[in-house]
Amino acid sequence: MNRRTLISLFGGAAAAWPLAARAQPTAKTIGLLGAVSASYQSSWTEAFLQRLRELGWIEGRTVSIAYRWTDGSNERAAEMAAELVRLKVDVIITSGTPTILAAKRATETVPIVFATAADPVGSGLVTSLPRPGANVTGLSVQSPDLSGKRLELLREVVPGLQRLAAIASAGSPASILEMREVQVATKALGLDIETFEIRRTEDFASVFAGLKNRAQALYVVTDSFMASNRVRINTLALSARLPTMHGIRDYVEVGGLMSYAASFRDLWRRAGDYVDKILRGAKPAELPVEQPTKFDLTINLVTAQALGLEIPPTLLARADEVIE
């Protein structure tokens, strides 16, 4: 073979190689089913993707990700979950009990990893924490268990707190469970409580109108529907002069007073380990549900000042984040 032939062969191979590389499909596909919106979950998604990169999974190269966002709608969650199943993704990563349940109803075979779930056993997501069973596993946020702690923190901020109101999304299994825990905690602390269920966005205005002069503070039970209405909730609460306690820091970022919760960013990062193991052959039923190890107390001083509240220095010193 002469020199000119060799150059021709190598030149042709070099030209064809990028085309062949681009034509190769990615080895694995992840379906990311977001309980709210891309912007709302951006920091959590980035923590998840960063962990995947550390474990050798590069989006667009070794793995592709199909993103679907529900905007807090249970109906849309069912549609998006079914769509991901039709796409034949290798694993679904999601969060929030209603959205996780939508994914679970959509498939009994595709592995499902939840980055955050309020009460996985009580909500029927898994059989038990050590032995999840079936095709679902992930991380618990222990939200119902934190209700008493949240109320204790609220009492430190609201002098003479006696009358509490609590709102939750109707029809959410996790919200119902947490509301029960809140009622138990208020009884133990000697507080009076009035509870309200929100079925649709239009209900907020009437509920808050009825709260004026009837409550000294408001406990907001978190789920995807409430998260999609967090600005509305905080605006109405400020108008009603109600200090608020939340289960996610994102509510405090848009005007809520306080939140105490597991770090969602940390949990989404840890969810990357679950997805990695499943993509490498592990079965969800064999991966125990883990609990949070990092909890954050967030306080919004701007909101406190607007409400005429003075946050005790000792509480500010314990806060993980203070918004000024």
- Give residue limits of the domains in the chain: 8-141+264-293, 144-262+296-323
Residue 26 has a pLDDT of 53
- Ranking 1-5, 28-32, 55-59, 191-195 by mean pLDDT, the lowest is 1-5
- Structure tokens given for 184: 């138990």
Residue 12 has a pLDDT of 44
pLDDT band at 132 (very low <50, low <70, confident <90, very high): very high
- Domain covering 144-262+296-323 in this structure, CATH number: 3.40.50.2300
**In angstroms, what CA-CA distances link 75 with 69, 79, 190?**
12, 7, 39
Within this chain, domains 8-141+264-293 and 144-262+296-323 share the same CATH topology: yes
* Residue 201 backbone dihedrals phi, psi, to 5 degrees: -55, -35
pLDDT mean over 295-305: 97
Would you mind telling me the total number of residues written for the chain in this entry?
Answer: 324
Residue appearing with tokens 């062969």: 9
User: What is the C-alpha separation between 169 and 196, in angstroms, rounded?
Assistant: 9
Residue 21 has a pLDDT of 38
Nearby residues of 323 by Cβ (< 8 Å), 6 or more positions away: 252, 253, 298, 299, 300, 301, 302
Task: Read off the pLDDT of residues 225-248 as tens digits, 9 standing for 90 and up.
Answer: 999 999 999 999 999 999 999 999
* pLDDT at position 322 over 90: yes
pLDDT band at 5 (very low <50, low <70, confident <90, very high): very low
User: What is the C-alpha separation between 74 and 83, in angstroms, rounded?
Assistant: 14
pLDDT mean over 255-259: 97
User: What is the C-alpha separation between 304 and 257, in angstroms, rounded?
Assistant: 6
- Structure tokens given for 300: 């919004």
pLDDT mean over 196-208: 94
pLDDT band at 259 (very low <50, low <70, confident <90, very high): very high
* pLDDT at position 129 over 60: yes
Query: Across all residues in the chain, what is the average pLDDT?
Result: 90
Cα–chain center distance at 289:
16
- Ranking 7-11, 103-107, 135-139 by mean pLDDT, the lowest is 7-11
pLDDT mean over 260-270: 95
Type of residue found at 11? G
- What's the burial of 267, exposed, middle or buried (CB within 10 Å: 0-12/13-18/19+)? buried
Task: Read off the pLDDT of residues 180-200 as tens digits, 9 standing for 90 and up.
Answer: 999 999 999 999 999 999 999
pLDDT mean over 143-163: 90
* pLDDT at position 35 over 50: yes
Residue 143 has a pLDDT of 66
- Domain covering 8-141+264-293 in this structure, CATH number: 3.40.50.2300
Residue appearing with tokens 């002098």: 159
Residue 123 has a pLDDT of 86
DSSP 287-301: SPPB----EEEEEEH
Q: Which of 9, 35, 21 is nearest to 230 (CA)?
A: 35
Task: Check if the beta carbon of residue 154 is closer than 8 Å to that of residue 161.
Answer: yes
User: What is the C-alpha separation between 21 and 18, in angstroms, rounded?
Assistant: 5
- Ranking 25-34, 200-209, 256-265, 282-291 by mean pLDDT, the lowest is 25-34
User: What is the C-alpha separation between 21 and 319, in angstroms, rounded?
Assistant: 50
* pLDDT at position 20 over 80: no
What's the predicted TM-score (pTM) here?
A: 0.81
**% of the chain surpassing 70 pLDDT:** 91
